[in-house]
Amino acid sequence: MNWNKISLYKFQQIQAINLGEMSDMDKVLWSVCIAFNLTEFQLDKMKLPKAGKLINKLTKLFKSTPEEKPLPRIGKYAINYDPAKMTLGQYVSLSSYIGGGTINNAHKMLATITQEGVDIGDQDERAEYFLEQPITRVIGAIKQFNENYASFNQRYSGLFGLSTENAEQMESNPFHKHYGWIFSATMVADHCRVNLDEAFGLSVKEAFNHLAYLKAKAKYEEQQIKSK
């Protein structure tokens, strides 16, 4: 038994089980079923020595860690690790996936950062493909992208967060939480005189530069009003 035998989908299921509230023994048994493609009935009817071997194999495996090497390709798809080369729409999607947990959404993240090419398929098709890939091919890619994503965000740290006096109250508002990016994209669209879909299609660097200007302009205008 090695990590190459554990797909991303299996890894997600096993992680969810071990974060649950069932007993430790039940966690082990359910994890064995997932890792070795067994039903609960099959494991229950299995002779004790054989079941014990499977438990030992899985326990030994999870005492180690999968290799965390970012690959230029995962299976048939090339991966883009540079957030600066993405569109605003891709960035917004990634923000929601990262906020929901990177392993849980790893297949969606990879489907989003797949480089354009021949027969790329649609987002759902790519996501399903990545679910079946070994965790050894996935975890390094996700770790590397998260590091690059954090570094990219740091370069635009002035954009994140509101600069108004009641910023904390506004950021906790449900509208800001659910529609903040749509509001920002609409501002970019109005500024560039394009529709919303075209705004989401802009490179994230261009969109962020427009937002930086608009934020600075709004702050300047606010100060001008206060000075009167």
| 65-116: pLDDT as tens digits | 988 899 999 999 999 999 999 999 999 999 889 876 789 999 999 999 998 7
Is residue 176 classed as helix, strand or coil in its secondary structure? helix
Do 168 and 214 share a domain, yes or no? yes
d(CA 90, CA 96): 10
Is 197 among the domain residues? yes
The reply to whether 145 and 163 lie within a common domain is: no
The pLDDT assigned to 224 comes to: 84
Instruction: Please indicate, yes or no, if residue 66 is contained in any of the structural domains.
Output: no
Statement to judge: residues 56 and 111 lie in one domain = no
Total residue count of the chain as it appears in this document:
228
Residues 148 and 199 in one domain: no
**Higher-scoring residue by pLDDT: 226, 21:** 21
Domain boundary among 155, 178, 198: 155
The boundaries of the domain holding residue 10 are 3-61
| Alpha helices per DSSP H over the chain | 8-18, 24-35, 40-45, 48-61, 88-99, 106-112, 123-131, 135-155, 167-171, 174-192, 196-200, 204-227
pTM for the whole structure: 0.85
Task: Answer yes or no: is 84 within a domain.
Answer: yes
Q: How many CA atoms lie within 13 A of 223 on its CB side?
A: 7
Residue 68 lies in a domain: no
